[in-house]
Amino acid sequence: MNYYSTNNKNLKVSFREAVMKGLSPDGGLFMPELIPQLDADFINNLNNYSIQEIGFEVAKLFIDNEIPDPDLENIIENAINFDAPLVELDNKLSILELFHGPTLAFKDFGARFMARTMSHFLKDSDEVVNILVATSGDTGSAVASGFYGVEGINVYLLYPSGKVSDIQEMQLTTFDKNITALEIEGTFDDCQKLVKSAFVDNEINSKMKLSSANSINIARLIPQSFYYFNGYKQLKNRSENVLVSVPSGNLGNLTAGLMAKKMGLPIAKFIGATNSNSVFTEFIRSGKYEPRPSVKTLSNAMDVGAPSNLARIQSLYTDHSIILKDIASNTHNDDQTIEMIQQTYRKYNYIIDPHGAVGMLALEQYLAEEKLEDYSAIVVETAHPAKFKESVEDALGIDIKLPEALQKCISKEKKTIKISNSYSAFKEFLLNT
């Protein structure tokens, strides 16, 4: 299967090229030239498959023999060696927990799959690949963990200074070897702009081979689609009207869900939940995309003012009216987020993180507006609440125990290189590395 640039559908590359390049030379994002269809029998019998078996059936359609089936099976078994359980809160509402990987966030699915896929493509090569990653929190640690010690790959993590949680910062700044953390004096959007600018800089690309591990890389999105199938199969009281609320920042998670729907997964509606960075919600409501600088919130992984994957969502649909059939979107602020953390704990005795709380809020508003009675709803919980220990503890007045993975990282030394958000400073760093 070929992959085209969202900036030029005539510019096509192989799956390997799409993964290893990350971003098209014209600045576009790579998309499969068609969304493959899964057999109805497979969809109807998801209960018979593990998440790894589901992943193999989905991924092989996108990879189209560029990786031999036995190697692809090994990649998936090795990358996704943890579960994504669906926790039922009541007979209509469930939480899809995506924080059971090594860095306790949904980014582990994509980062680990991509690391092993790239390693497969580089196994008989002397090539050195330099991966640039802009992160608003969880991507950095997941990519660092996934690529740590992988030969032939250097990783540079760009994160906004003072705009990630303390625990997230410790997770992404305590690696060594082939991982370098760059603390950027700016916002996530500044980090993302630096990465994109480097990809289209001829001088840099003539001297070093670049790739990306952000959700702009198609190898991140394909494995993220696996858990939507896995979540659907776990629904006990499945209505014909299945709703999925997705905390949304750079829109990679939502895009992966939409790809699953296009492959045949019978989701009636996706709800793109945004915090005060409501560019996507405004786009859904008006059809106009008006990016702007992001603002800091409790749900910091969603603090994105210029979401890259909107280009992919637009490429999946021919018209905004069709987008509205599949996607709704609501926006909520920090005060509402805190109230929802408290409400979820009171009502269900469930501790939800700020991102999941925004997802709950968006679902609640959608149900109220649509006056739905017959439905099955899934809220995507993207990270372990302990990663936002201070804000969740303040909201609930309880002590949250740190999982072992987080306890280990907070005892390590922070290692960062501080850089301004000017492209000239970043370019100088890369050329002198």
Residue 337: count of CB within 10 angstroms of its CB: 26
Which position among 9, 12, 107, 236 bears the catalytic label?
107
What percent of the chain is helix, strand and coil (3-state, nearest 5)? Answer: 45, 15, 35
Rounded CA-CA distance 389/372 in Å is 34
Exposed / middle / buried, residue 289 (Cβ in 10 Å: 0-12, 13-18, 19+): middle
Q: 121, 20 in Cβ contact below 8 A? A: yes
Rounded CA-CA distance 279/157 in Å is 25
Q: Phi then psi for 273, rounded to 5 degrees?
A: -90, 125
Q: Phi then psi for 353, rounded to 5 degrees?
A: -85, 170
**CA angle 24–26–28, rounded 5-degree value:** 55
**Virtual CA dihedral for 61, 63, 67, 70, nearest 10 degrees?**
-30
107 is catalytic: yes
Q: 341, 392 in Cβ contact below 8 A? A: yes
> Catalytic residues, which ones?
107
